[in-house]
Every structure is written in structure tokens, then in C-alpha cells.
């Protein structure tokens, strides 16, 4: 399991990159984080950390996030 670069995760959260190749769990988490950051951009650092934690806890998600 390789953890994605936090800068890449920040970009993923703030973009509209398609998530169709990711699992449902990953799509739900990233989609929720995107909405939260869109509503409050000051939360970006906390949401990147939340996504890192999700990836650490779920090896499949870490692999998917590296590929996106």
C-alpha cells in the first residue's frame, strides 16, 4: 500500500476529476469532502488529513487514490 501525496489529495478534493474508476466507498468519501470544502474552503487541510486517514485505514482506497 502506497499512500498518495497530500498535494495530490488536495488537488483531488478541489477538482471535479471523475471518480468512476474508484470504489463506491472512495467515491462517497471524496464526494463528501468536495462538498464540505466547496462550502468552507478553510477546511481543506483538515479534509486532506481526513482523506489520508481514510487511505491508511483502507488499503484499497490508498491504491485507488494513487491511480486517480
Query: Taking the model in full, what pTM does it have?
Result: 0.94
Hey, what's the cell of 64?
Answer: 485507488
Q: pLDDT at position 54, please?
A: 97
* pLDDT reading at 1 higher than 80: no
Q: Are 46 and 21 in contact (CB under 8 A)?
A: no
In degrees, rounded to 5, the angle at the alpha carbon of residue 59 between the alpha carbons of residues 57 and 64 is: 120
- Rounded CA gap, 31 and 22, in Å? 11
Q: pLDDT at position 68, please?
A: 87
Q: Are 26 and 61 in contact (CB under 8 A)?
A: yes
What are 6-54's pLDDT values in tens digits?
999 999 999 999 999 999 999 999 999 999 999 999 999 999 999 999 9
Amino acid at each position: 500500500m502506497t499512500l498518495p501525496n497530500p498535494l495530490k489529495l488536495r488537488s483531488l478534493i478541489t477538482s471535479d476529476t471523475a471518480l468512476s474508476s474508484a470504489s463506491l466507498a472512495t467515491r462517497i468519501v471524496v464526494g463528501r469532502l468536495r462538498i464540505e470544502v466547496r462550502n468552507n474552503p478553510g477546511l481543506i487541510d483538515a479534509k486532506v488529513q481526513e482523506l489520508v486517514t481514510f487511505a491508511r485505514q483502507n488499503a484499497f482506497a490508498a491504491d485507488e487514490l494513487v491511480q486517480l
